[in-house]
A and B are shown apart, each in its own frame.
Chain A
Amino acid sequence: MKETRRIEFIFEIVRILAALVIAYGVTLLCIMLISDNPGEAVYMFAIGPFTSKRRFGQLIGKFIPYLLTGTGMCFVYASNRFNLIGEGVYLMSGCMVALVATQFMSPETPHMVFILVLILVGALTGAAFGSIPALLREKARINETVVSIMMNYALLYAATYLVKAQMYDTSITYMASEPLPAAAKLTRLVSGSQIHAGIFIGIAAVIVTALIFFRTPLGYSIRICGSNPKFARTAGIGMTSSLIAAQVLGATLSGIGGAVDIMGIYDRYMWTGLTNMGFDGLLVAVLSKKNPIFVPLGAFLLAYMRTGAAVLNYTTEIPIEFVDIMQAIIILLIAAEHFLGGFKEKYIFKATKSKNKEAAKNA
């Protein structure tokens, strides 16, 4: 049995690596084929993010919200519910943070208090909107994917309306809120880059999530309900409450992500379309195989890919969007149970067979 588990673990890693190598290879090949100057393009994509403080800062600036949405999506994905509310909540909590910061709080509020209040606003926004699809799913059996996707669009329009009605800044030409007061901004850790204090919040979220996952009854029941609902029901685990908790916690983390992103990088709220951060969080959760401990790795990888594409976008003529295709290939290969599954079964079969032979000999 131990042998089987060891083989499964090794194959899991091999599969993820193989998926990444294939996706990366396909991407590099595409870049080489379409670029006039393939050497430079590949260099910009692969090494570009590390070549200057500003670019590396950009990478970390993306990495921080990915930590939060990634851990959030870990909760949701581990409970085997396709609740995509993280997307809309991310945007809405950014909007609510901007609203509270510009309209309801005095700019003289002490920095720490201001930050804590705003993070709380983000978390509450996340929990409030996140509980709608979760409750509807667990209490009324309404498909959570449909409800959450509908809510994402509704939240997008609601946020746009809030900006227009409550905090529209008429002194600028594009649609955005009034600027956030200085006290509401997270400290930049490295000047001239986007590395900000939100990274501590992100790391804390990873640690707390890992503790909940592996050291509390709630985490255990969430994982069991997700991977084997029939067993969970037979074992008498309170499925409804753990599944609701998983989805609400996931949305809360996404909400904090949106708040941190607005406070860390932006001067004002200016999202006019879906940010795609919720889906990216799902990708991070897929990359880290629902394990919060691996979320930093997945988040870094995705941030690296996205930054590489952005660098490529403004240094060469290649558009940033090709990275979306790469993302899809990775998701498909990693999440496909049967990708390299034949090999795995063969190895497990062989191992068990030789073990049985030994057992027969000894007997």
Chain B
Amino acid sequence: MLDIIVKFLFSVIRVSTPLIFGALAACITKKAGLMNLAIESMMLASALAGVLVSGATQSLLLGMLAGFAAAIAITMIISYAAFVMKCDLYLTSIAMNTALVGGTVFVMFLATGQKANTAGSIASLSISSWNIPLIKEIPILGDILSGHNILTYVAFAMIFLVWFMLYKTKIGLRIRSVGENPNAAESVGISPRRIYFLSFGLSGFIAALGGMYMSMGYLSWFARDMMAGRGFISMSAMNIASGEPVSAALAALMFGSADALSNYMQMGKFPSELISMFPYVCTIVLLVLMSAVRTVKAAKQKQP
């Protein structure tokens, strides 16, 4: 029994990693006052670019650089369309998501000559996992915490980094002030448009880590639509936490456990579809609860 629990907790951390990256990416744009619906497409782009370039050049560094570049390119297209050409941001992001699901399959076809739905046709390098020296020796905790992919540890470090960036640096202050009130920020000489570009770029950088974790750590190939809604789940994790990096990461862990649980339940009799529904239904219920709490609070403030 203990063995199963340890394995389960290990897999919770494993499947939560991309969600944490995604949630943090969403937090940054949220703090700038923008909803980022395109995390899914950023992750897909970086996952594919990472696999293709690392497979072709046999260099992990180049592969990762390509992954970052691809995701940031997507964010720049979105930012240009939305903030310079004044196209609706939601519409742009949704268009980008559809384009990337098809576009990545198309690029796969160009690269391999197969209408690859199930991949594995490109041998990619993968990022190795890491046994933490001392913690590894602790009986149960070591089995849960040690031996993950390096990017998993990066994800947990990233929670702190994003929090630090948002709350302790000048850039973070600017991002938050634009998010609070773009006009006020503009009146003191901060260009909201520049901040929007910057926050989307940063968000792309973090989402790229999540995408590359999926294709070069969690798996070692690229498959069609391999994000399977993870971008949206992480966006809702951010939403529940209303953009706070630490609580967003916790929400991502919660959704990750639901995901891990549904993997386990597929063997049992309980319908796995109902567990797969959990993150989505849970988000809606929590949002309703939070809104109710907000209304009650507002009513209380009015009374005295």
Chain A positions within 8 Å of B, measured between CB atoms, are 34, 82, 84, 132, 136, 140-143, 145-147, 149-151, 153-154, 157-158, 160-161, 164-165, 276, 279, 282, 286, 317-325, 327-329, 331-332, 335-339, 341
Distance from A321 Cβ to chain B, minimum over Cβ atoms (Å): 3
A327 to B100 CA separation, bound complex (whole angstroms):
11
Checking B103, B232, B280, B284 against A325 with a beta-carbon cut-off of 8 angstroms, the contacting residue is: B103
Interchain CB contact under 8 A, A146 and B287: yes
Q: Is the interface of B mostly helix, strand, loop or mixed?
A: helix
Given contacts A149-B232, A279-B98, A332-B95, whether A325 and B281 have CB atoms under 8 Å apart is no
Interchain CB contact under 8 A, A331 and B95: yes
Q: Which chain B residue lies CB-closest to A133?
A: B284
Residue B271 lies at the interface, judged by CB distance under 8 Å to chain A:
yes
B35 surroundings in chain A (CB, below 8 A): 143, 145-146
Chain B positions within 8 Å of A, measured between CB atoms, are 35, 37, 81, 84-88, 90-92, 94-96, 98-99, 101-103, 105-106, 109-110, 113, 115, 229, 232, 235-236, 239, 271, 273-274, 276-277, 280-281, 283-284, 287-288, 291-292, 295
B274 surroundings in chain A (CB, below 8 A): 157, 161
Interchain CB contact under 8 A, B288 and A321: no
A282 surroundings in chain B (CB, below 8 A): 91, 94
Q: Which chain B residue lies CB-closest to A327?
A: B98
Checking A136, A154, A157, A328 against B288 with a beta-carbon cut-off of 8 angstroms, the contacting residue is: A136
A142 surroundings in chain B (CB, below 8 A): 287-288, 291
Q: Is the interface of A mostly helix, strand, loop or mixed?
A: helix
A sample of 20 inter-chain contacts (CB < 8 A) reads: A145-B35, A146-B287, A147-B284, A149-B37, A149-B235, A150-B236, A153-B277, A154-B277, A154-B280, A158-B273, A282-B94, A321-B101, A324-B99, A325-B103, A327-B95, A328-B96, A332-B87, A335-B92, A336-B86, A337-B87
Interchain CB contact under 8 A, A321 and B81: no
Interchain CB contact under 8 A, A143 and B81: no
B281 surroundings in chain A (CB, below 8 A): 150, 154
Distance from B49 Cβ to chain A, minimum over Cβ atoms (Å): 16
Checking B37, B91, B109 against A319 with a beta-carbon cut-off of 8 angstroms, the contacting residue is: B109
Q: Which chain A residue lies CB-closest to B90?
A: A82
